[in-house]
């Protein structure tokens, strides 16, 4: 017997409890680092979606399986603390306060019709993780996939064709998380200012061309020497509860080298620096160039998670999920699918001020014409909802 965990995430069109949140935040940075090593480095993933589903799995694990998941996810030992912390964090993260932002996360559990799980675990998954549970006939994988996809689509998750018939073959249980985000820039880019420009690699060699968006906007911007990067904060919606943080390494500085600096520089440090610059110098016009882009990622997460110490759950002889079912089950694969689109569209900028940076003579420039990192975050908790790396140019 085996359990297949399918994680599916879509970021559709971005025009564009604190102690517990730190656990998800630390997991997010490690996961992106190891995932980019498993891929070509041009990726988008949803650390929050993966963290959400693995947290639910942790509640059904025992022995080393649970210990390893808990260590990778920085989870507390007490199960009630996990449930309460998860509830408080997701309530904050998944609560857009602006009509310009739409964010939804849905959990699903599909069971083979003769596969039984313990009532206690079913109660936790249903009540505490808001999962929809359905029994399907896995012996007819095509029909099972069709039914499951219809349920996911009709739930408001705004994704389609999440699962295939192959996912149900030889499986007994499938857990799925679908997360979607749509956001309008608080300070939009004007489409008429978008033009095709050159894009360079980390060695400053031209490797392609992109449709480069442009605006002169008053947005938080800092030169963070400890990261060897320029950092720009692009808010979504009027309130700015959600932001895209763009980290642009200095010329000839590699993305990997910036990752190493995250061992000592935290998101709190970055947001504090951005706010200090605003407080000290005010909001000044910054010339911003950012590629219009679309990235799709389909990656098996077993490798990155194994490197993070989550090993036993993938081994049929070592996996321990005795809190889920009396059957001997294990995780055969964690498949992650994600998409992101970043375009010019947005609302009219909500603020206009006439301040300046006292220590700068010319207008600062933020030109993302080389590989960069991006993080879509709920700012108050510093939770990373989506993250990725842009390194392969294309005209989109």
Q: What pLDDT, on the 0 to 100 scale, is given for residue 393?
A: 96
Domain boundaries, the chain: 20-183+294-340, 186-293+343-390
- Percentage, residues of the chain above pLDDT 90: 50
Q: Please list the residues that pair with 334 across neighbouring strands.
A: 5
Contacts of 306-312 with CB under 8 Å at 24 or more apart are 307/34, 307/37, 308/30, 308/31, 308/34, 308/72, 309/68, 309/71, 309/72, 310/54, 310/68, 310/69, 310/72, 311/68, 312/63, 312/64, 312/65, 312/68
Arithmetic mean of pLDDT over the chain? 86
| β-pair partners for 97 | none
DSSP 42: -
277-312 pLDDT, tens digit per residue, is 999 888 888 999 999 998 888 888 889 999 999 999
Which tens digit of pLDDT belongs to each residue from 1-52? 566 555 555 544 444 544 556 667 778 888 988 898 888 889 988 898 888 8
Q: DSSP label at 79?
A: H
Domain 20-183+294-340 identical in fold to domain 186-293+343-390: no
Q: Residue 366: what pLDDT?
A: 95
| Residue 351: per-residue pLDDT | 21
CB hemisphere CA count around 144 (13 angstroms): 25
Comparing 20 with 85, which gets the higher pLDDT?
A: 85
Average pLDDT of 230-237?
95
pLDDT at 68 over 80: yes
Closest to 337 in 3D by CA, of 5, 108, 77, 71 = 5
Q: Are 134 and 111 in contact (CB under 8 A)?
A: yes
Residue 224 pLDDT level (bands cut at 50, 70, 90): very high
Residues forming beta bridges with residue 182, ordered by sequence position: 102
Is the predicted pLDDT of residue 365 greater than 50, yes or no? yes
pLDDT for the residue 361 = 41
Mean pLDDT of 352-365: 40
pLDDT of residue 122: 94
The average pLDDT across 324-343 equals 86
For the record, the structure tokens of 382 come out as: 């510093």
pLDDT of 350 reads 19
Span 223-236, average pLDDT = 95
Fold of 20-183+294-340: Antithrombin; Chain I, domain 2 (3.30.497)
Beta-carbon count within 10 A of 207 CB: 15
What confidence category does residue 200 fall into, taking pLDDT thresholds of 50, 70 and 90?
very high
pLDDT digits (tens, 9 = 90+) for 96-139: 888 888 888 888 888 999 888 999 999 999 999 889 999 999 99
Closest-CA residue to 32 (of 301, 290, 265, 267): 301
pLDDT greater than 60 at residue 337: yes
What is the topology classification, in CATH, of domain 186-293+343-390? Alpha-1-antitrypsin; domain 1 (2.30.39)
Helix (H, G, I), strand (E, B) or coil at 185: strand
Residue 358 binned pLDDT confidence (cut-offs 50, 70, 90)? very low
């Amino acid at each position: 017997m085996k359990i297949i965990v399918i994680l599916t995430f879509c970021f559709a069109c971005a025009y564009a409890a604190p102690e517990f949140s730190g656990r998800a935040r630390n997991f997010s940075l490690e996961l992106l680092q190891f995932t980019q090593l498993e891929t070509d480095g041009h990726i988008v993933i949803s650390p929050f979606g993966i963290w959400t589903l693995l947290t639910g799995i942790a509640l059904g694990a025992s022995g080393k399986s649970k210990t390893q998941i808990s260590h990778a996810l920085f989870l507390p030992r007490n199960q009630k603390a996990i449930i309460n912390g998860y509830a408080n964090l997701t309530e904050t993260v998944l609560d857009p306060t602006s009509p310009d932002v739409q964010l939804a996360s849905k959990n699903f559990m599909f069971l083979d019709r003769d596969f039984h799980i313990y009532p206690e675990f079913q109660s936790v998954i249903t009540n505490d993780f808001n999962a929809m549970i359905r029994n399907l006939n896995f012996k007819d994988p095509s029909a099972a996939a069709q039914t499951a996809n219809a349920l996911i689509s009709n739930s408001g998750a705004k994704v389609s064709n999440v699962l295939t018939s192959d996912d149900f073959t030889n499986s007994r249980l499938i857990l799925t998380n679908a997360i979607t985000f749509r956001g309008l820039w608080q300070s939009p880019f004007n489409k008429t200012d978008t033009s095709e420009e050159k894009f360079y690699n980390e060695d400053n060699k031209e490797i392609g061309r992109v449709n480069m968006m442009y605006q002169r906007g008053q947005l938080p911007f800092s030169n963070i020497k400890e990261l060897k990067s320029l950092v720009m904060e692009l808010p979504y919606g009027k309130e700015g509860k959600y932001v895209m943080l763009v980290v642009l390494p200095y010329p000839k500085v590699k993305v990997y080298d910036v990752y190493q600096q995250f061992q000592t520089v935290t998101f709190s440090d970055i947001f504090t620096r951005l706010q200090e610059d605003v407080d000290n110098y005010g909001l000044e016009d910054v010339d911003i160039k950012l590629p219009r882009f679309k990235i799709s990622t389909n990656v098996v997460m077993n490798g990155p998670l194994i490197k993070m110490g989550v090993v036993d759950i993938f081994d049929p002889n070592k996996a321990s999920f005795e809190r889920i079912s009396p059957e001997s089950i294990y995780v055969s694969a964690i498949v992650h699918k994600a998409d992101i689109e970043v375009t010019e569209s947005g609302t009219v900028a909500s603020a206009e001020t006439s301040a300046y940076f006292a220590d700068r003579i010319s207008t600062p420039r933020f030109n993302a014409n080389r590989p960069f990192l991006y993080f879509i975050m709920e700012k108050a908790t510093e939770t990373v909802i989506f993250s990725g790396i842009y390194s392969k140019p294309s005209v989109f």
